[in-house]
Amino acid sequence: MGILDKMVAEGNGRFWGFLGCRFIKGDGEEVQIALTAGEHHTNSMGIIHGGVLTSLMDQCMGMVATAAMAVDSCVTTNLNVHFLAPMKQGELIVTSTILHQAGRSVTAQSEVRDASGTLGCMATATFRIARVKAQNTESQG
């Protein structure tokens, strides 16, 4: 099972599942996820809450960062969000790509678009490797 498949499989009982995220496609260069935003994702003005949009982008960028570094996990160390247009209930597509890798750090970018292609928000974030893939360290003999 690949890194992204494992994240999705384990996500249903976590924040991923709580939000209602769906995996579309991904690899170490680009990840796409989706959300069918409902009333419970909106704020008092009837638009999608900024915290939902930020969480979607953080999740998607974390996935592409984890895949790009081929590690078990990474943590967000910095996140910058720009809200550009209000998002309404319905299908939201989140796309994240890698901007830069250096040592144990990865910088990614993300955007959220609605079904008509309107760009609702964008973000950049830096991630740091939290845990390196476990190596088989058992000695033989």
- Classify residue 20 by its DSSP letter: T
Residue 34 identity (one-letter amino acid) = A
Length of the chain in terms of residues written: 141
Q: What is the pTM of this model?
A: 0.87
Q: What is the pLDDT of residues 36-58, one digit of tens each?
A: 999 999 999 999 999 999 999 99
CB 109 within 8 A of CB 52: no
pLDDT score at 137: 42
Q: Kindly state the greatest CA–CA separation across the chain.
A: 67
**Mean pLDDT of all residues belonging to the chain:** 90
Residue 133 identity (one-letter amino acid) = K
CB 106 within 8 A of CB 69: yes
Q: Among 95, 96, 98, 94, which Cα is nearest to 107's?
A: 98
